[in-house]
Amino acid sequence: MRENPAITRRSLLKGGFQARHHISSAVVVVLPARREELSRRLAEMPGVEIHAGEGSRIVVTIEGPGSGMLGETLTTISMMDGVIAANMVFEHIEVREDESK
């Protein structure tokens, strides 16, 4: 059985839990001639936001409920036609107390 690190024994006993939200930045290296097209496609992906683009590079953030989802999104990006590489640069985890207590 896989344990959920977002739920601790203490928070469960207190009637709440901590929700985690993961935010990652990534640099996507693309064929320069396809940068505009790929920027549009990336902007349409759920949880992906474009922050900069120049030459063959696009800087994005990816947000989601866990590292697994961020990794899946990054893999999807790296498999796009015209993408040379997609590299995660930084990951931050926001921990929020459950508001339903």
Residue 4 lies in a domain: no
Positive/negative CA dihedral, 78, 73, 68, 88: positive
Q: Which CATH number covers residue 42? A: 3.30.70.920
Would you give per-residue pLDDT tens digits along the chain (101 residues)?
A: 344 555 556 655 665 555 788 999 999 999 999 999 999 999 999 999 999 999 999 999 999 988 889 999 999 999 999 999 999 999 888 887 655 44
DSSP characters over 38-54: HHHHHHTSTTEEEEEEE
Which pLDDT score, from 0 to 100, does residue 12 have?
54
* 2 part of a folded domain: no
pLDDT of residue 87: 96
In the chain, the number of structural domains is 1
Q: Is residue 51 part of a domain?
A: yes
**pTM for the model:** 0.75
User: Is there a domain that residue 9 lies in?
Assistant: no
